[in-house]
Chain A
Amino acid sequence: MKFQKTTMLMILIVMISGQWTYAGDNQAMEIMKKSHLSMFYAADDGIAEVKMTITNSRGKERIREFAMLRLDLEDGGKQMYYTYFRKPHDVSRLTFMVHKMPEASDNRWLYVPAVDLVKRISADDKGSSFVGSDFTYEDVSGRHWSEDNHKILKEDKLGDNDVYIIESTPIEKYKGFAKKISYVDKGHFLPLKEEYYDKKNELIRVFTAEKIEEINGIITPTIRKMENVKKKQYTMVEFTEIKFNIGVGEDIFSERYLKNPPRNFIK
């Protein structure tokens, strides 16, 4: 009988602690999901003018300017992006379109107007640089929360903001990082800072939301910075003329508009 009681107690402890641990992971997962949605799926659609300034280790600046349209078909799911390049001169009028598929490879198209060429681009390179900046393709469209294991390290303050500090490790081996520490704001769930570490546990990149504003009732980072610690260079991205819920249709994200930019949205 005594044996049974001990066993019952142990099972109970395991169950409770198990459930508790589960609840902990679940909470971290929930936070990262909310963070992902507020960062990459704000409203149902959006448009912005983007200015990217890449500063190398010698202080030399390069600037990319483009307009970016986004449409979410499902929160956390299928999403479409349309990019119209303005500067520098050699990519001016170029358009780039992505159909993001969380469960499969993205579909990507590039249109080069000077030769009237629609090129499909293989999407096997989520970790490679976006237009030569310190941001990767994945940084631009977001890494799905279900691809990593998350745990809350602690609850703390970052500046004046209350944050969850969350550690994420890729479930499947991943080249982009071995560990990521996110500082997620407890109020609006935007990541205020992210630190990316390689497998030697050395800091490789740091993301910071430099400026956060409320636009059309939606809280969004309008200046973002990605620092490449190893290369001693960084990229600042400034979003202006942001509009949400402008009613962009799914048809805009087609070859027709790839070749003929939708001028009612993109001037």
Chain B
Amino acid sequence: MLTKKLTYLMALIIVLLIPVTGLGSETNFSGFLQGLYGGGLDKDNPTPSDLTASETRLQLRMESFSDNAEFFGRIDFVYDDYYQPSTNIELREGFAKFRIGSFLDFKIGRQIVTWGTGDLIFINDVFAKDYLSFFTGRDDQYLKAPQNALRMALYTGVGDFAVVYSPRFTPNRTPTGERLSYYYPMTPDGGAIVGAPEYLFEANLPAAKFKSGELAGRFSRYFGNADVALYGYRGFYKNPVGFDMATMSGYYPRLNVYGASVRMPIFGGIAWVEGGHFDSRDDTDGNNPMIPNSKISGLIGFERQIGSNLTANIQYQNEKMIDFDKYVETLPVGMAAKEETYHLLTTRITQLIMMETLSFSAFVFYSPNEEDLYGRFLTSYKYSDAVTLSLGANIFDGQDEYTSFGTFQKNDNIYLKVTYGY
């Protein structure tokens, strides 16, 4: 109820602000039309379709602004006959933002939020992601899922403060067994990679109460060339990592995150360091095996140009579980145990040629201790300013089926994408 009231209140504020700010003095329209078709490479993937993507997407964008206020909307119409109904409409973004005085900015509505320093590794960025899009070849802009939020930024001499409040928890979008399969530990034979319809993945969302909102904050400032930030988050795990034995379904346990990051130019490139403490609020002692333990996560990365139009980066992430002994003690018999420390290495290489009209890029995640990997490969050719052709692949591999990327190892796919922008 309260969220509904809040939504009405926000809408009312926006409407009232239109005449005040003179919003609408400049209006522009744009968008694109896109076809995306992807096929699975693994014959024994338990999903009902061999196609990992088969969609036609029309995006309409509209912006309207005056000196101190701006409205932006972006709406997607997607046709995919795999799903029922086959046409889906999604408001990707729809927000109003305005400046109050010289030190305060507001952004209200459906929006995408990002912060933190990692390249496709997120520690303090506890905002919604769309891994289904990410794994099937949709554009980079679809990695982030929109959330309904109120964002406030305060600019002071000490530094910048930002607060993002989402009245309703927005989870990550993860593979459901329809387009992509996943590992399920509770099958009769003690765990397997499964697909829909039998194992259509559905998790229980937190009750739609005031308490189920999400609050994220950041303080940032520059020290010379270094941008330094402190973060805090109060909400829930974005993936359904909890398991409710009563309903035999996944859910989103409570989570707080506290962290910091530094990013600066050095050695002819950019380096970043980020750390965070994941405080598992529903399992503070670490003795509930159905909820992940708290952990400390750290990340270090470096990027630089290594040749003409050739850029590369490397990252190393380390995650250490807190109360590991209790985790081992309480782990049910027969469940595969995680290691106390998780290591992840990533690298990205991007090459642009022919006046930046042809690009090649590769991004590889590799965990030496979970012995799994995920590679993203993409070739894109800008035939003209309007038309882009892309050919890409997503490759997963893993020694075990229950690891971060091993769970998706039957979802290897290649895709073709054609975009017409206007």
Contacts and interface: CB of A to CB of B under 8 A. Distances in A.
A204 to B, nearest CB: 14
A63 B385 contact: yes
Given A107-B265, A120-B265, A260-B105, A89 B112 contact: no
Contacts of A118: 114-115
Interface stretch (B139-147, B204-212, B284-292, B339-347): B139-147
A132 B422 contact: no
Given A90-B388, A93-B63, A260 B97 contact: yes
Given A122-B269, A131-B356, A88 B385 contact: yes
Interface residues on B, range: 35 or more
Interface in A143-183: none
Contact of A256 (B113, B153, B265, B269): B153
Q: Ordered nearest first, which 7 A-B pairs have the shortest CB separation? A: A89-B421, A132-B356, A114-B141, A88-B385, A116-B114, A124-B268, A264-B67
A124 B310 CA distance: 12
A1 interface: no
B357 interface: yes
Given A62-B384, A107-B225, A132-B352, 13 more contacts: A54-B355, A89-B30, A89-B31, A89-B422, A92-B61, A114-B112, A118-B115, A120-B263, A124-B305, A128-B309, A256-B155, A263-B67, A263-B68
Contacts of B254: none
Contacts of A129: 309, 355-356
Contact of B305 (A93, A114, A120, A125): A125
A29 B99 CA distance: 46
A87 interface: yes
B257 to A, nearest CB: 18
A122 B388 CA distance: 27
Given A120-B263, A263-B70, A264-B67, A115 B305 contact: no
B141 A56 contact: no
B270 A120 contact: yes
Interface in B59-99: 61, 63, 65-68, 70, 97, 99
Interface residues of A, number: 37
A183 B365 CA distance: 52
A14 interface: no
A122 B225 CA distance: 12
Interface in B261-301: 263, 265, 268-270
B37 interface: no
A60 B26 CA distance: 32
Interface string A99-117: 0000001010000001111
Contacts of A107: 225, 265
A230 interface: no
Interface string B108-132: 0001111100000000000000000
Interface of A: 54, 56, 60, 62-63, 87-90, 92-93, 105, 107, 114-118, 120-125, 128-129, 131-133, 233, 251, 255-256, 260, 263-264, 267
Contacts of B304: 122, 124
B372 interface: no
Given A87-B385, A115-B112, A115-B144, A128 B308 contact: yes
Contacts of B32: 89-90
Nearest to A249: B102
Contacts of A122: 265, 268-270, 303-305, 311
A156 to B, nearest CB: 34
25 contacts: A62-B385, A89-B386, A90-B388, A93-B63, A107-B265, A115-B112, A115-B140, A115-B141, A115-B143, A116-B144, A118-B114, A118-B115, A122-B269, A124-B269, A125-B305, A129-B356, A131-B356, A132-B356, A233-B355, A255-B160, A255-B227, A256-B105, A263-B66, A264-B67, A264-B68
